């Protein structure tokens, strides 16, 4: 670590502890040349996820956008906000754990529908109707029949 006072490239760590939030590590260092002490902070560098939209454009992944879609789908349904937050956490974790840095919006939509189907079927159908852009009642009925046939008796 380069000393901010003399520019020497070698220092030793005198003290190391996590910050109050636990999100980074605070290190007290001592320059091996001038002997002065300074503080550094070590944090995890997160690489932002990029979403590839249906039209080919790219934009940064937005958790709030995903949560907003879930809230709209679950409007007037008995689904708690904490359940929706949990769905967002799971999806965000899956996306972060994948080695991909660019994700198609279709993949995110499928993950959301997979989670919603388990939480509330009406919310699932609402989300699917917007996401899949049903053209007519026939395609809507196909999706409903799939849901009925996969539902355990």
Return the SS3 of 42: strand
- State the pLDDT at residue 100: 84
Is residue 120 situated within a structural domain? yes
pLDDT digits (tens, 9 = 90+) for 56-89: 999 999 999 999 999 999 999 999 999 999 999 8
The count of structural domains within the chain is 2
Element at 69 (helix H, strand E)? helix 63-73
Is residue 2 situated within a structural domain? no
Is residue 113 situated within a structural domain? yes
Q: Are residues 141 and 68 in the same domain?
A: yes
Is residue 77 situated within a structural domain? yes
Q: Are residues 24 and 57 in the same domain?
A: no
Range of the domain at 90: 50-150
Bridge partners, residue 52, by sequence? 58, 104
Of 103-112, 117-126, 143-152, highest mean pLDDT: 103-112
Give CA 120 to chain center in angstroms.
21
Q: Are residues 81 and 97 in the same domain?
A: yes
Is residue 5 situated within a structural domain? no
Confidence bin at 150 (pLDDT 50/70/90): confident
Q: Which residues, other chains included, contact 138 with Cβ-Cβ below 8 Å and sequence gap of 6+?
A: none
Using a 10 angstrom Cβ sphere, with 0-12 exposed, 13-18 middle and 19 or more buried, the burial of residue 11 is buried
Is residue 22 situated within a structural domain? yes
Q: Are residues 86 and 18 in the same domain?
A: no
CA atoms in the 13 A half-sphere facing the CB of 11: 24
31 near 38, Cβ under 8 Å?
yes
Is residue 80 situated within a structural domain? yes
Q: How far apart are CA 16 and CA 39, in angstroms?
A: 10
Q: Are residues 69 and 26 in the same domain?
A: no
pLDDT digits (tens, 9 = 90+) for 4-59: 999 999 999 999 998 877 778 999 999 999 999 999 999 877 778 899 998 999 99
Is the four-CA dihedral 119, 76, 93, 131 of positive or negative sign? Answer: positive
- State the pLDDT at residue 138: 72
Confidence bin at 149 (pLDDT 50/70/90): confident
């Amino acid at each position: 670590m380069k000393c901010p006072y003399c520019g020497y490239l070698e220092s030793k760590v005198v003290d190391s502890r996590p910050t109050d939030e636990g999100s980074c590590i605070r290190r007290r260092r001592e320059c091996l040349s001038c002997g002065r002490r300074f503080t550094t902070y070590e944090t995890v560098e997160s690489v932002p996820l990029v979403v590839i939209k249906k039209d080919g454009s790219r934009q940064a992944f937005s958790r709030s956008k995903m949560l907003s879609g879930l809230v709209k789908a679950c409007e007037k349904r008995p689904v708690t906000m904490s359940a929706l937050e949990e769905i967002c956490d799971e999806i965000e974790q899956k996306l972060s754990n994948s080695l991909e840095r660019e994700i198609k919006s279709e993949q995110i939509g499928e993950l959301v529908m997979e989670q919603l189907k388990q939480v509330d079927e009406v919310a699932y159908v609402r989300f699917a109707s917007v996401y899949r852009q049903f053209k007519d009642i026939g395609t809507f009925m196909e999706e409903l029949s799939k849901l009925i046939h996969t539902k355990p008796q």
